[in-house]
Amino acid sequence: MKFRIKNSSTFICLLFFNIYYCQNEEKEFNVSRFKELLSKSCPYNCEVETYSNNNFIRFNRNDSLITMEYEKDNFARTTFEKGNYSISYQYHSNLKIKSKNEYIYAISRSRSFQVGIEKNYDEQGNLISSINWETLPYDENISAPKKNIWEIAKEINHDFNFDILNDKSLFGIVLFQDKKTGKVNYTISKFLGDDNDILKFETYEYDGENGKFVKHEKKEVKLPKGGLIHY
């Protein structure tokens, strides 16, 4: 990516997913399409899978993974995944859009990174609030980093051939304020292993102000006996 992404949500959606979905999922849940796909589904090893749950379908389109969940008068959700990037739409019981969220998911769910513009809607589908996670202040009186995660993704891919948008060894992305410089920097971690109850990973620190590499470290953490199911 040889450019600065000004509207990452729109660009990434158009880059990764079919334009039809980008334009229509932010309106209401498509029950007809869900039922049509459900009628062609099977539990496992087929084009549209349910995993023996008739309120759930999962299928691939345009190199992305799409999940649709629906239970009448209860919940509805559509999720698009491309590599580690995900857009999730949740709907009200009347099937009008309720919320939209975007993430770069990592092995450590607690270190997954929310991106884009979170949007929330009333039951008529009117926008009632939004949060731009890429310009959200780090803390009170502390601004967001000047460089967004998409720019950092470009740098780390160039420097270390680590594609954090697609590499499934991505362990986490964390923002922190450097005590010496006062800058808000990024720490990106890569999973190496967890044999013998030892979690092994390496971290890459990037300057949030100029996007430049700061340092690389390998780390080990002793896990409780038996390890952890989730980090």
With H, G, I as helix, E, B as strand and everything else as coil, classify residue 22: helix
What is the value of pTM for the model shown? 0.87
Please report, for the chain, the start and end positions of each structural domain, with discontinuous segments joined by +: 8-132, 149-222
% of the chain exceeding 90 in pLDDT: 79
**pLDDT mean across residues, the chain:** 89
Confidence of residue 146 (pLDDT cuts 50, 70, 90): very high
Give 25 or 174, the one with higher predicted confidence.
174
141-156 average pLDDT score: 97
The identity of residue 18, as a single letter, is N
